[in-house]
Structure 1
Amino acid sequence: MFLPNAKLRDVFNEPACEKNQGKDARTRKVGCSKPLTPGAAAGGCAFDGAKIALQPITDVAHVIHAPLACEGNSWDNRGAISSGSALWRTSFTTDLTELDIVMGQGERKLFKTIREISQAYAPAAIFVYSTCVTALIGDDIEAVCKHAAAKFGLPVVPINAPGFVGSKNLGNKLAGEALLDHVIGTAEPDDAGPCDINIIGEFNLSGEFWQVKPLLHRLGIRVRACIPGDARYLDIACAHRARAAMIVCSTALISLARKMEERWDIPFFEGSFYGIAATSQALRNIADLLVRKGADPALIDRTEALIAQEEALAWKKLAAYRPRLEGKRVLLNTGGVKSWSLVDALMEIGIEIVGTSVKKSTVEDKERIRQTLKEENQIFESVAPRELYAMLSQGHADMMLSGGRTQFVALKAKTPWLDINQERHNPYAGYDGMVELIRQIDLAIHNPIWSQVREPAPWDSCPAVEDELTSTTSASTTSRAPEKFAHTTAKAVGQG
């Protein structure tokens, strides 16, 4: 089934986005995402975005209703980690063939797949994703899911986000709409309390949310649902009983946070757990929202005491790194919440930011960066690899922090590089995460390999060696060429 135009307009019309509200009514209807160019690599489709936003829900079976090739991101998706079931890491597909499509067997095959999964794995729920092929041939996944849910006695949720409807970011938003329509509010918790919160847009990459959750636990704050990182289906179904919410990645799920506030009066704020100051401010904002919603006012004092204790411990650990890193220049080539939160985090230790990208960043993200960096030329939307290479090879930065796609630019420029995107292997959130981030930066910058690879090669520094190598190579080639040619000719003549 195609998505109704009304649904797409509703997703694009986001009142919580200042940039969107600055447009006139006609422009706002067009939407936020740039149109895709047919046949061009767009960096992810709507299906990809929806699956990224939902797959870390750990006890759910994720079924891709499509030919086999559509299921490309499954195991170790984005580096998210689960403390429980590993079912989410096993992806399922209906594996439609040409014969299935021609003979109209798609819906029947989907129902059979749901039945087999429910019997073999007994998941808490099954999420069914439509794709370009199944949407184009008109398979009604909503009807199949509704029938299967009644037949097998478990939630079967349709995720109607075929790839051709738009970008990966649109898929993120449509995933949030699916949770609102089919999951959140479908169950009632028996232990709701005045200090329950939701964390939205947190993916628990490399387990970094586990460095923040104990801090909240020490304050008596319970995370009712972390969406989607290390979440359980029932947690999300009961998320409407939280008293407050923090949104980590507003680019992806701000619509979900805003609509939950409208429906269930759950106030939210956008914050970050990257950096000491940002983590402390996030804890203060959470405590303040909970107190305003009826929690014990003593929570404010407990929060300040915890912040003082953790900040002192963190700064004590970081003291050894400050003289080694102060004044070092770092280039950030990332986006979203990291574009501003890491700027603050690194400047706390005395590192100089020579530039940061704001790709996929919101208006609020960009404004935070401008207030911190002051220099407009330090902020860029995107940089071509050639320009990035020139900047690094000319020594404008001592190190680059980015995702895996630009690591080879840094390595070619003989510049230290650290992965801070979703594929990273180290957790950088919270106070302990900040210490780990600085430790990794220190290890990268002071790695002796960089001084070695920057030295000229022996044949560049000593002309005599270069001449000798050149003459040896030429002589070897000359002496072998006639022999090789004679052998080839004799073989050809003999065969003739």
Structure 2
Amino acid sequence: MSSLRAKIQDVFDEPACEQNRGKDAKARKKGCSKPLTPGAAAGGCAFDGAKIVLQPITDVAHLIHAPLACEGNSWDNRGAASSGPTLWRTSFTTDLAELDVVMGQGERKLFKAIREIKEAYGPPAIFVYPSCVTALIGDDIEAVCKRAAEKFGLPVVPVNAPGFVGSKNLGNKLAGEALLDHVIGTVEPDDAGPYDINILGEFNLSGEFWLVKPLLDRLGIRVRACIPGDARYFDIAGAHRARAAMMVCSTALINLARKMEQRWGIPFFEGSFYGITDTSEALRQISQLLVKKGADPEILGRTEALIAEEEAIAWKKLAAYRPRLEGKRVLLNTGGVKSWSVVHALMEIGIEIVGTSVKKSTVEDKERIKQILKDDNHMFEQMAPCELYAMLSEHKADIMLSGGRTQFIALKAKTPWLDINQERQHPYAGYDGMVELVRQIDLAIHNPIWRQVREPAPWDCQPAGREELPSTKSETATLRVVQEFAGTTADDFGEC
């Protein structure tokens, strides 16, 4: 536990975090998360955050050393996609019971589970995650993993992030520490080149990184490792030989990017593949970093040629949507990198942003929003469901972009809604992804169902030339039955 405590303290004292640099030593030790209210939902625990970051490594077996309920359903995993192995979707758990805890059988059961996975699946590595239960009873998973690795001849990686140590975001960073301590740098690739890069904090949701990778391929840039989206264990193990890195979600893995720069001299920048301008700028910065690290400067010219070609195609496709969407108002209830990158992307085609959540955004994210929107009046830390409902029901926004948890607020307010978070079904990254995002917004706003659901129901209308409709529910139901049997049609009713 002492090593875990030291690791957490190290993560809290993150020098690459702009907000941390402005604190004194005492304030940094408290971390960035707000104190949690007992009994209140905290948006995920550290165990959840670590598993989110590492499970998209597709050829690894992910073993949860915990009671059965800690594993849950691993099949969907927040929409991350794989181009090959599906082992990452299989649930592995030691399924600890009360008797195992009482009799101290946890470590023995863990060792047995590792052996069974090795014999049945033969993965390149096994990642082991303790939960609150196994951490509290004192199971030494690091010792078990070390012994199993020696016995079975494959890497067994302890991911020491039990849920009680902190928030989901802390778990993200502890997962990055596990990669640094046990994976990255353990394999020396024999094909390292001057155009190798790492993409950090990209989860390949709905396969959207596959819309970006062909652009890099055309420039001759090889993605040595995309961590974690559609990753392979040995790609990550050799990621230390990349020449440059792009950080997509700094909230999750800024510590990984900084320490890889310190240990192996891999410079990084934070960028986004959402929107035409941001995608182009990301390609430029990747090329510039590679040139600084020794690549041929001619790649800069090829990058500009590619950008000009792709932007022309994208703007031509978007021209058809501009008359239909220009001036439409969007409410964004998301966070992180999407709080500013999607804002920029939508404003490029004339959509007005009436508000954007910054609940999970870094200080740098908030500064970008201020620069894009020219003020901070449209930023809100969090908005209660009743406030969201009031804003939508008063027609202050034409559509809400958010995660699945708030979709029912929009539906109750009879307002179009589009999923922008990890459960979405469509990829929105890159030039083609931006066109798809705009197309989905257009389809949602102009769906005829919204005009129909906003109209009063026929039984709420005043019949033409008839007595006033009954007011009670029972009388209304009786009248509807009578009208049905009497052959009353819609033409018998007047305008609402």
Do these two structures clear the TM 0.5 threshold for a shared fold by scoring above it?
A: yes
Q: Show the counterpart of 1:394.
A: 394
| Cα gap change, 1:196 to 1:472, in 2 (>3 Å) | closer
CA contact (8 A) 1:45 1:166 kept: yes
Q: Show the counterpart of 1:68.
A: 68
Paired-residue identity, %:
82
Q: Show the counterpart of 2:114.
A: 114
Q: Show the counterpart of 2:183.
A: 183
CA contact (8 A) 2:469 2:476 kept: no
User: Is 1:281 aligned to 2:281, yes or no?
Assistant: yes
Q: CA deviation digits over 1:332-384, x for unaligned, max 9?
A: 10000000000110001111111111111111110010011123210111100
| Cα gap change, 1:472 to 1:70, in 2 (>3 Å) | closer
SS at match of 2:126: strand
Moved more, 1-10 or 447-456: 1-10
CA contact (8 A) 1:66 1:133 kept: yes
TM-score w.r.t. structure 2 length?
Answer: 0.94
Moved more, 374-383 or 315-324: 374-383
- The alignment's C-alpha RMSD in Å is 1.5
Q: What does residue range 82-481 of structure 1 map to in structure 2 within 5 Å? A: 82-462=82-462, 467-468=469-470, 470=472, 473=475
State the shift of 1:471 in Å. Answer: 8.8
Q: CA deviation digits over 1:443-482, x for unaligned, max 9?
A: 00000000111112223331658625859738969xxxxx
In the alignment, residue 107 of structure 1 is paired with which amino acid? Answer: E
| Cα gap change, 1:45 to 1:73, in 2 (>3 Å) | farther
- Once residues 25 and 474 of structure 2 are traced to their aligned partners in structure 1, the CA distance between those partners, rounded to angstroms, is 74
SS at match of 2:377: helix
Moved more, 401-410 or 460-469: 460-469
SS at match of 2:285: helix
| Cα gap change, 1:322 to 1:408, in 2 (>3 Å) | same
- Once residues 72 and 12 of structure 1 are traced to their aligned partners in structure 2, the CA distance between those partners, rounded to angstroms, is 29
| Cα gap change, 1:346 to 1:473, in 2 (>3 Å) | same
Q: CA deviation digits over 1:67-95, x for unaligned, max 9?
A: 00101241110100000100000020000
SS at match of 1:289: helix
- Once residues 21 and 91 of structure 1 are traced to their aligned partners in structure 2, the CA distance between those partners, rounded to angstroms, is 40
| Cα gap change, 1:465 to 1:380, in 2 (>3 Å) | farther
- Once residues 444 and 459 of structure 2 are traced to their aligned partners in structure 1, the CA distance between those partners, rounded to angstroms, is 28
- Once residues 318 and 377 of structure 1 are traced to their aligned partners in structure 2, the CA distance between those partners, rounded to angstroms, is 29
State the shift of 1:7 in Å. Answer: 1.4
- Once residues 460 and 3 of structure 2 are traced to their aligned partners in structure 1, the CA distance between those partners, rounded to angstroms, is 62
CA contact (8 A) 2:4 2:160 kept: no
State the shift of 1:127 in Å. Answer: 0.2
| Cα gap change, 1:394 to 1:472, in 2 (>3 Å) | closer
Q: CA deviation digits over 1:378-411, x for unaligned, max 9?
A: 0111100000000000010000000001000000
CA contact (8 A) 1:458 1:465 kept: no
Q: Show the counterpart of 2:50.
A: 50
CA contact (8 A) 2:369 2:376 kept: no
- Once residues 150 and 37 of structure 2 are traced to their aligned partners in structure 1, the CA distance between those partners, rounded to angstroms, is 41
In the alignment, residue 372 of structure 1 is paired with which amino acid? Answer: I
How many residue pairs are counted as aligned between the two chains? 477
State the shift of 1:296 in Å. Answer: 0.6
Q: CA deviation digits over 1:82-119, x for unaligned, max 9?
A: 00100000020000000000000000000000000000
State the shift of 1:23 in Å. Answer: 1.1
Unmatched segments (≥5 aa) in structure 1: 478-496
- Once residues 287 and 58 of structure 1 are traced to their aligned partners in structure 2, the CA distance between those partners, rounded to angstroms, is 28
